Every structure is written in structure tokens, then in C-alpha cells.
A and B are shown apart, each in its own frame.
Chain A
């Protein structure tokens, strides 16, 4: 059985004045994926999410959620989509529970109390259920926004920088919850500036730059093709022998980064250090990092738009 497409964008273009916020974005996210949408500020991530949510209307191209066109069949599309907006917003007139009950009501749900209770519980909001939204801290407001996005149990959940300015406790609780939702079959789309988070969580990643998708692949393949293992070494005494110096890059704090292909390469490098009479102070084999992939892809001048 082939997986169904949860989110599909076809040749989506959107201009704001002279700025091409989206410059022909084509993308398909399959049902059940944990998908990362990365890119620098202004790359078009939020515009793409807004277009998906019906908050922005594209100049051309189409978008669909669970097969429902976001304009022609907006009701079904919006029922299928839960969005946690980037900015913290709230209605100061109501309590946490009222906020969630109203949000359920907007989706036509009555008697949603059991699910609202579960959301309150999972997001650690039970003690604040009857507190006014105004009295909540930023992190607590963020939790309510996550709950608001989930009141209608949407099959597709979009989190637009959910951990910006959020404390460690919430971050961990949030990711545990989102992972559970993903395992229960929900499709998750995440944008974040914390690339370690994306590397740990997302199985597939799209990178955007200037309104276009410039990379789209599984996280593992992106790491393999754009990043490498490095040997991080700091010397207590002596200098790097010439053979190693050619490939090494200096690090802050006086250490070196030496790209390595495999473990035999590590042993060879250590042997060369011993022969040169250098004493090693610290040594570490660092795995590929998404941050490096990101930086390399964003720096490519010849960035090939994806798909070409």
C-alpha cells in the first residue's frame, strides 16, 4: 500500500510587493511523516504555512491537505489541519478552558470535554485550566496554543517554531507529546531554528531559501552528502604534522577539525600525530551535524532549485 499524501503544494507562488515570498514551491509530505521545513528568516516558511492554512492566498499554484484543496474545499482542508502559529497570541477575555471550548466549537465540536481534559493534562495545563489567559507566562500561553491547534484532532499538525523562547521543561514535554502524536499516525510538519531538534526529530527535511526549496531529502541522506564525520583534536604539546594540516580547519579554543572518512582514517591520523611527537589533550569523533548541512546549502551560490 502506498502512503497517502498528507500535504501537497504545486507550483505555489506568492508575491508581497517586490518580494517573491514563494517562488514556485512544489512539495509533497506523506501521511505519518515527521517533516522538517528549514530555512533562514524570510525564506518563505511561514508564508507557505499561511497559504496551507488559508491565511494567505497564493497568486498561483495549488495546495491541498489530505487531498482537500485549501480553497475549493476549505472546510475539509481546515478540519484536517492543526496549526500552532509562530507568534504568541491569545484572547485576554477568557480562561484556558474557555479558550479550548470555544476553539472546539469553531470546528463544530460539542462535548469535546474529555479530549480537552486530556490536552490540558498532556500539556501540563491542568493547574491553569481556570486561569485567565492574560495571567499566563509566555511558555504557558504557548502550551495553550498547541492545545488549540489540536482540539479537533487534526491528521496534519504544523508547528511553526514552537520552541522559540521556550524553557527546557516545556520543550521536552512538547516533543514527547508530538512524538506520541506522530506514532499515533499524525503527520507532523515542523519549522525551527534549532537544527539539533530537526535532526533528532525529522525523518525528512526541506530547506527553503528566497521562496524556493533548495534541498529536499531524508535527513540521513542530507547528512551523508553534505556533512561528514570529523576528528576534533586539541594538542597539549607539539604541532599538527603537514599531512594532517592540509585538511584540518582550526577551531575556536585552539583545536582542529579534521574530516575523516572512516575509523581506519582516525587510526592513521593518530599514528601521524604520534610520529610527529604531538601530545593530545582531548580527542573526539564528531558525527555529522545538520547545522553544517544547512550552512553549506545556504551558502551554495549555484543552489539548484528543487525540483530543477
Chain B
């Protein structure tokens, strides 16, 4: 029997036992963004035709929360285990690199998606949003949370101290998720910044996710899914290779 189900269960319980911090708190943050930026920027920032700015904002905020929390889950779990030393209990059993990878990744995706669902549940009575293509929305939620879940695994393994991880989070993950077209349509940006956005894989996750709700997006959803999936596949291959080598885990 594989050790994967146990590790997955442990990783899920780890965040679920403190879900007030790991799920409820990010939902509250997303709500605050909506309450502040919705009225403040509504009318000034271009949204899609027939879609109010507040409506436009909801899927973007949900995706941003999913991305950030998926990253937070895998990265914080690994760095905590490394710093406290209890990572040995994961490294001593016969868990294959792919089993470690899959367990940390799925737990991160589940946390991300739990937060995303929480954001929708909380905004339902404030700003009703249509859901035209649920399967597209689900596909982007999975790929987006997956991408950041894997990035969190890499960051957690790479970082030796909490402040290194914080730097990764503050200087890479936060800017890239914030500038992924969460608060605006990239079509409203100057051409230069519009082109820059296209190099940000998180932009495709946000844009495609929004398509699932409104049936409108800056980039065709199939293209977005292609880019985001390619980024996820490439990063996953790299991570599996690093895990198999024992990079920074087995000395």
C-alpha cells in the first residue's frame, strides 16, 4: 500500500485544524478588497460590457486568494517541517518522490479551492455573479491552484529560513498575483504593460477563470488554459526532478 493517502490526509488536516486562519482569514481579506476597491474604482476602471466592476472583481479576487493560499499551504508546511526538523518523519518512510509531490500539491489545491469557494459564498449576497461555464471555471481553478501549489513546494524546499520564504512570497508571488489582472482588464493597460502581463502565467489563470463566469476574457480561454497548463507541467517536471535528486532535503 502507498503512503500517499496518509500524507495527503495529514496535509489536509494540517490546514483544516486551523481553518480559521487558513481559510476564513483569506476570505475576509478578499471581502475587504471587494468592499474598498469595488465602490472606489467602479466607474473608473473598464470592465467587460454588461458586467459591473464589482462583479468583474469577484472572480479575480477569488482566483488571487486561491493562488496565494495554494502557495502558502505547500510552502509553509514544508518550511515548518524543515525548520522544526520533523521532515525526517516524511523522509524516513518509503514515500516515492511522486507521492510526496502529489500529496503536497493536492492539499495545496484543496486549500486554494476551499478559500475560493469561501470567497464566492461570502460575496453571494453582496454581488451576485453569473456562472456561465462552470467547467472552464473549475479547470482554471485547478490549474491555477496547482501552479502555485507546485511553486510553494519548490519555495518550501529551497528556503532555509522563514524570511527567505517570506521574500519569495513578497517579492514574487504577491506582485505576480496582484498584477495578474485581478483588479482590471489588461486591455485597459498601456500596450507595454499589456505585453508584460502576457509573460505572467498567473494572468492566464485569472483571465481564463473569469471567462468561466462571464463568457468574456482578454485572451481566448483555450489559449489561457494552454499557457497555464504548460507552465504547470514544466514546473511539475522540474519539481519532481528536484525531489528525486533529494535537492536540499537529503544531504
Binding site for B on A (CB under 8 A): 16, 50, 53-57, 74-76, 78-79, 81, 83, 85, 87, 89-94, 98, 101-110, 148, 152
Contact = CB atoms under 8 A, between A and B. Distances in A.
Given A91-B89, A104-B6, A148-B89, A75 B94 contact: yes
B93 A103 contact: yes
B10 interface: yes
Given A89-B85, A108-B2, A108-B3, A102 B10 contact: yes
Contacts, number: 83
Interface of B: 1-3, 5-7, 9-10, 13-14, 17-18, 81, 84-86, 88-96, 246, 250-251
B94 A78 contact: yes
A106 B250 contact: no
A57 B246 contact: yes
A109 B88 contact: no
A107 B250 contact: no
B1 A110 contact: yes
B157 to A, nearest CB: 15
Contacts of A98: 13
B186 to A, nearest CB: 40
Contacts of A93: 13-14, 17-18
A110 B5 CA distance: 10
Nearest to B93: A106
* CB-based closest 4 A-B pairs: A105-B6, A108-B1, A106-B93, A89-B85
B107 to A, nearest CB: 13
Contacts of A54: 91-92, 250
B3 to A, nearest CB: 4
Contacts of A103: 89, 93
A89 B86 contact: yes
A108 B14 CA distance: 20
A106 B95 contact: yes
A104 B250 CA distance: 22
Nearest to B251: A56
B86 A91 contact: yes
A101 B3 CA distance: 11
A83 B6 contact: no
Contacts of B3: 105-108
Given A91-B86, A106-B6, A83 B92 contact: yes
Nearest to A83: B92
17 contacts: A54-B250, A55-B251, A78-B93, A89-B88, A89-B89, A91-B81, A91-B86, A94-B10, A94-B13, A101-B6, A103-B89, A105-B7, A106-B89, A106-B93, A107-B3, A109-B1, A148-B89
Contact of A55 (B17, B92, B96): B92
B250 A56 contact: yes
B14 A55 contact: no
A107 B93 contact: yes
A104 B3 CA distance: 8
A287 B218 CA distance: 87
A75 B95 CA distance: 7
Contacts of A90: 84, 86
Nearest to B14: A93
A55 B82 CA distance: 13
B13 A106 contact: no
Nearest to B95: A106
Contacts of A76: 94
Nearest to B2: A108
A23 B138 CA distance: 55
Contacts of B93: 78, 103, 106-107, 152
B84 A89 contact: yes
